[in-house]
C-alpha cells in the first residue's frame, strides 16, 4: 500500500463511509461510474498521455535489439518500468522505485504478458541471436487516485501507436542484421491480439460496499481493493487483490461482470484514438504537388504545342508555293519546241 497523500480525520472518514452507504460519492459519481477519461496520442510514435479525472500518466515505448533468453530463443521481451515523481505526489520520494512503483509495474506487466496480448514471436529477428526488447516507461505526472487503471490505459495506447524499425537479414552467413532508417523503410507496428483493460474496485466496511475507480480520498478510507484485468471479449487476464478485507466470491463475480462492460467501453475509446492517429500519419506521408508547380510544368507544354502548331501552319502555307514552282518546272519543256 502506497503512502497516502491525504490523511482523513475521523469526521471525514465517517462522512465518506456514510455517503457510500447511500450510494453517493464525494465527487458526485455513482458507485460504478468512471471519472472522465481522456486519451491523448502524442506526435511521436509510441507515446501517449492519459487523464483519468485528476490522475495523469504518460507512457513511452522504446525497443532495441538484444540476445533472447536461452529458454525462449524465438521470442522477444516486454518490460514495464514506472517512475513516481514527487511532482505528482508529495508522498512519492525520489530515487529508487518504492514498493508502490514495483507493485504497479507488476500488475500491468502481469496483465499484458500472462494474457499474451503482444505477440512475442513476431519480435524475433534471428532465432537465438537477435530479438526486439520492448520497454514501456510509465511516468506518473499527477496522482489523483487509481494509478493502476490510468497507467494500464497509457501503456496500451503507447504500445498501439509504437512502430519498430524495419530490419533485414543478410551477409555471408545469413545472420547479419541491418536496421533501416524510418525514411528508407516504413517502421512496423506491434502485433497486438487484444487489449487487456485493468478495472480497479475499492471495498468499504465489511466488503459489502464497493465502488469503481476510487479517488485518492477514497483510497485513504477503503478497507481493500481488487484489480481485474479483462478484455472486451470478457476473458479474464489477471486478478490482483492487494491485502485488505476479505471479499465474498459472489462479490468478485459481480465485479468481473461490471469490469467486462467497462473494458469494452475503454477499448473502443483507445481504438478510436489510435485509428485517428494512424489515419493522420498516413495522410502526412502523401506528397501532393502544389498548384504553382503544376502551372510551371504546363507552361512549356503549351508553348511547345503552340510553336509546333505555328510550324505546321508555316509548312502548309509554304506548300502551295512549292506546288507552283513544280508546275512551272513542268511547263518549261515548251520552251524547247
Q: What is the pLDDT of residue 314?
A: 52
Q: Are strands 163-164 and 188-189 parallel, antiparallel or unpaired?
A: antiparallel
Instruction: Output the CA torsion sign for 247, 248, 252, 257.
Output: negative
Q: Per-10-residue mean pLDDT for the chain, 337 residues long?
A: 63 88 88 92 89 93 92 92 84 76 90 90 90 93 91 95 88 79 86 94 83 90 90 90 78 91 94 91 66 44 44 48 43 42
In Å, the largest CA–CA distance within the chain is 143
Nearest to 191 by CA among 38, 106, 76: 76
Burial of 331 (0-12, 13-18, 19+ CB in 10 A): exposed
What is the rounded CA–CA span in Å between residue 7 and residue 14?
Answer: 13
The length of the chain in residues reads: 337
The C-alpha cell at 141 is: 505526472
SS3 21: helix
DSSP 4: P
d(CA 25, CA 115): 33
Position 318 scores a pLDDT of 47
Which CATH superfamily is 24-287 part of?
GHMP Kinase, N-terminal domain (3.30.230.70)
Q: What is the pLDDT of residue 6?
A: 63
Identify the pLDDT of residue 305: 43
* DSSP category for residue 186: -
51 and 140 in contact (C-beta within 8 Å)? Answer: no
CA distance 84 to 101: 7
**Residue 332: what pLDDT?**
41
Grid cell 510544368 in the structure block, residue: 297
Residue with cell 542484421: 177
Give the C-alpha separation, 152 to 101, whole Å. Answer: 13
The whole-angstrom separation of Cα 109 and Cα 304 is 68
Amino acid at each position: 500500500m502506497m503512502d497516502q497523500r491525504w490523511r482523513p480525520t475521523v469526521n471525514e472518514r465517517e462522512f465518506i463511509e456514510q455517503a457510500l452507504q447511500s450510494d453517493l460519492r464525494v465527487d458526485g459519481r455513482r458507485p460504478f461510474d468512471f471519472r472522465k477519461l481522456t486519451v491523448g496520442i502524442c506526435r511521436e510514435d509510441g507515446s501517449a498521455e492519459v487523464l483519468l479525472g485528476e490522475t495523469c500518466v504518460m507512457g513511452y515505448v522504446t525497443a532495441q535489439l538484444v540476445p533472447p533468453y536461452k529458454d525462449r530463443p524465438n521470442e522477444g521481451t516486454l518490460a514495464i518500468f514506472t517512475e513516481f515523481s514527487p511532482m505528482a505526489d508529495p508522498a512519492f520520494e525520489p530515487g529508487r522505485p518504492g514498493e508502490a512503483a514495483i507493485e504497479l509495474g507488476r500488475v500491468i506487466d502481469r496483465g499484458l504478458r500472462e494474457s499474451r496480448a503482444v505477440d512475442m514471436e513476431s519480435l524475433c529477428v534471428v532465432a537465438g541471436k537477435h530479438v526486439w526488447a520492448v520497454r514501456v516507461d510509465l511516468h506518473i505526472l499527477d496522482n489523483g487516485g487509481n494509478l493502476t487503471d490510468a497507467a494500464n490505459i497509457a501503456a496500451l495506447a503507447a504500445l498501439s501507436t509504437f512502430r519498430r524499425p524495419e530490419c533485414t537479414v543478410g551477409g555471408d552467413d545469413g545472420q547479419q542484421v541491418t536496421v533501416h532508417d524510418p525514411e528508407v523503410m516504413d517502421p512496423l507496428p506491434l502485433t497486438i491480439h487484444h487489449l487487456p483493460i485493468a478495472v480497479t474496485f475499492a471495498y468499504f466496511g465489511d466488503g459489502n460496499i464497493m465502488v469503481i475507480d476510487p479517488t485518492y480520498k477514497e483510497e485513504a478510507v477503503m478497507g481493500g481493493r481488487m484489480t481485474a484485468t479483462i478484455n472486451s471479449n470478457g476473458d479474464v487476464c489477471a486478478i490482483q487483490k492487494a491485502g485488505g478485507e476479505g471479499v465474498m466470491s459472489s462479490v468478485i463475480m459481480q465485479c468481473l461482470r461490471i469490469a467486462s462492460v467497462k473494458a469494452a467501453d475503454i477499448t473502443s475509446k483507445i481504438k478510436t484514438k489510435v485509428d485517428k492517429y494512424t489515419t493522420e500519419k498516413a495522410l502526412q506521408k502523401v506528397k501532393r504537388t502544389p498548384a504553382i508547380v503544376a502551372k510551371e510544368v504546363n507552361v512549356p507544354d503549351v508553348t511547345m504545342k503552340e510553336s509546333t502548331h505555328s510550324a505546321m501552319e508555316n509548312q502548309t502555307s509554304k506548300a502551295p508555293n512549292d506546288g507552283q514552282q513544280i508546275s512551272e518546272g513542268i511547263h518549261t519543256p515548251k520552251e524547247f519546241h
